[in-house]
Amino acid sequence: MPLLTASRGTRLFALTAACAALFAGVLIWFNATSDSRSEISGTLARAEWKTVEHRGVQIDIPSAWQRSDMSGCEFQFEQWAAPGSPPCRLEGGAAFYGSATFDPFHGPGVWQTATTWSGYAYAGDYAVYVSDTDRDLVQKVVDSARVTR
């Protein structure tokens, strides 16, 4: 019975494919573990507002809002809200959702829900969603969404 051996070209192709797969795996791991949190990128002329940036998208939010700890939530995304707000449910604050998977009930803009005002705007790869009891505040945050890079 003849013994089959791989040709030199087949071995080179297999080695190249293995290296490409390893490189892709490292790239995916790096993107998944890199710090994707937003950061405060400035203060505005009005002391009661600050600017936060998340992956090239900036919004202006009330100074009292803080980054929510989403570590115990089923879905983790970047969210800023008033101190004491529930972290796993947006009941006042702003969140950065990936626009590719954002499935809204309404079009962009601001609308009234049963107890709050809500709205969103697309900026770059994100939909910036905002909720609060103050319509003007929601409108200001939605209007401030912008791409920085």
User: Is residue 145 within 8 Å of 121, Cβ to Cβ?
Assistant: yes
Question: Could you tell me which CATH class the domain 39-147 is placed in?
Answer: mainly beta
Average pLDDT along the chain:
80
Closest by CA to 81, choosing from 101, 102, 100, 59, is: 59
Domain boundaries, the chain: 1-34, 39-147
Amino acid letter, 110: V
Closest by CA to 78, choosing from 31, 140, 36, is: 36
| Predicted model pTM | 0.70
In angstroms, the CA 54 to CA 52 distance is 7
pLDDT tens for 28-69 read 433 433 445 555 555 555 679 999 999 999 999 999 999 999
**Residue 24 phi, psi dihedral angles, 5° rounding:** -60, -40
